[in-house]
């Protein structure tokens, strides 16, 4: 059991880039995270971190261990979630989710119902900021949402599921022959994603770093809606590359990389904890779906 907890902490350090950030996610002190990682290194008999730099980074052995640790943790959680037929899960569970992740979440909940018919599911959609407060209040048992620096996950369980890179979305016919995202931002009408959101703030930061004043024509709080407008040749946009939407295969759309360091939107599941058996099963189904 101790090693399982250590591996969970190790994965958090790898994902968040520091002992302090990992401590916030696994409900430990910085000192406890450091103690666990030293104990894990002693158990594995090799250094897992490169401590020569200011920011903690995985060593070569740590990089090689990370996917194995994730598989071990997933297998362990699956064993815990599996119950004998005579102990089938039942009860009511309330789940929230962001609009762009609703298809993925709904498909996993359909699978849940097939596996455990006696579970009753209430599903709602809302912005990430709203569902976090509902999970804290116990009005939602879990939620699929976007992680931002301003959120408070204290006392809750957070699991990162996938990252969505932030890219430029352009119409194929409208922008043929131009592959430079910055040039398109300067010359094409710009559809802005809601600047009050975490992604909207990242978009503004990207625009500012390139010293561009885009030809902004409208602002919209719907990534799917923005994609539809790009298809209609209304303009270009900077948005997260939504998982499972296959924009790369859409003949009317072009997905272009942005200059500079890759910016991402981090999507995961937040669990309240009182119905951990059911929400853990949902988490397992989501992890399986995004791994395909």
Q: What is the pLDDT of residue 93?
A: 92
Phi (first) and psi of residue 10, to 5 degrees: -60, -45
Helix (H) or strand (E) holding 266: strand 264-271
- Cα separation of 166 and 242, whole Å? 9
pLDDT in tens, 113-150: 998 998 999 999 888 888 898 998 889 999 999 988 77
pLDDT higher than 60, residue 21: yes
pLDDT of amino acid 20? 85
pLDDT: is 255 or 155 the higher one?
A: 255
* Tokens matching residue 243: 């998982």
Q: What is the pLDDT of residues 39-83, one digit of tens each?
A: 999 989 999 998 777 778 899 999 999 888 888 887 777 776 665
175-231 confidence digits (pLDDT tens): 988 999 999 999 999 999 999 888 899 999 999 999 999 999 999 999 999 999 999
pLDDT attached to residue 175 = 93
> What number is the average pLDDT over the span 237-247?
92
The residue to which tokens 């696994």 are assigned: 26
Q: How does DSSP assign 167-196, residue by residue?
A: EEEEETTTTTT---HHHHHHHSEEEEE-TT
Would you say residue 87 has pLDDT above 60? no
Q: How many CB atoms lie within 10 A of CB 189?
A: 16
Predicted confidence band at 257 (pLDDT cuts at 50, 70, 90)? very high
- pLDDT at site 88: 63
Q: Is the pLDDT reported for residue 5 higher than 50?
A: yes
Q: Residues 130-138: contacts with CB within 8 Å, 24+ apart?
A: 130/96, 131/96, 131/97, 131/98, 131/270, 132/270, 134/96, 135/96, 135/270, 135/271, 135/272, 136/272, 138/272, 138/274
Across the chain, mean pLDDT equals 88
Query: What global pTM score does this model have?
Result: 0.69
Q: How far is CA 167 from the centre of its chain?
A: 16
Q: What pLDDT is stored for residue 270 in this prediction? A: 94
């Amino acid at each position: 059991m101790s090693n399982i907890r250590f591996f969970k902490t190790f994965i958090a350090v790898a994902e968040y880039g520091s002992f302090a950030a990992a401590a916030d996610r696994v409900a430990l002190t910085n000192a406890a995270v450091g103690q666990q990682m030293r104990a894990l290194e002693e158990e594995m008999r090799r250094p897992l971190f490169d401590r020569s730099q200011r920011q903690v980074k995985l060593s070569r052995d740590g990089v090689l261990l990370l996917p194995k640790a994730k598989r071990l943790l997933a297998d362990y959680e699956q064993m815990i979630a599996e119950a004998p037929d005579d102990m089938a899960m039942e009860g009511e569970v309330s789940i929230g989710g962001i609009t762009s992740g609703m298809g993925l979440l709904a498909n996993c909940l359909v699978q849940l119902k097939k596996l455990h018919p006696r579970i009753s599911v209430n599903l709602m959609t809302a912005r990430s900021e709203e569902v976090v407060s509902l999970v804290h209040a116990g009005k939602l048992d879990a939620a699929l949402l976007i992680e931002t620096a301003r959120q408070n996950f204290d006392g809750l369980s957070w699991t990162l599921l996938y990252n969505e890179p932030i890219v430029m979305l352009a119409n194929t016919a409208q922008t043929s022959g131009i592959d430079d995202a910055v040039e398109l931002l300067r010359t094409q009408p710009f559809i802005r994603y809601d600047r009050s959101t975490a992604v909207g703030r990242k978009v503004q930061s990207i625009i500012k770093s390139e010293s561009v004043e885009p030809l902004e024509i409208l602002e919209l709080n719907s990534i799917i809606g923005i994609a539809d407008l790009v298809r209609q040749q209304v303009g270009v946009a900077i948005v997260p590359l939504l998982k499972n939407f296959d924009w790369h295969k859409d003949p009317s759309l072009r997905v272009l990389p942005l200059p500079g360091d890759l910016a991402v939107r981090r999507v995961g599941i937040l669990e309240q904890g009182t119905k951990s058996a059911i929400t853990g099963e949902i988490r397992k189904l989501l992890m399986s779906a995004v791994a395909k």
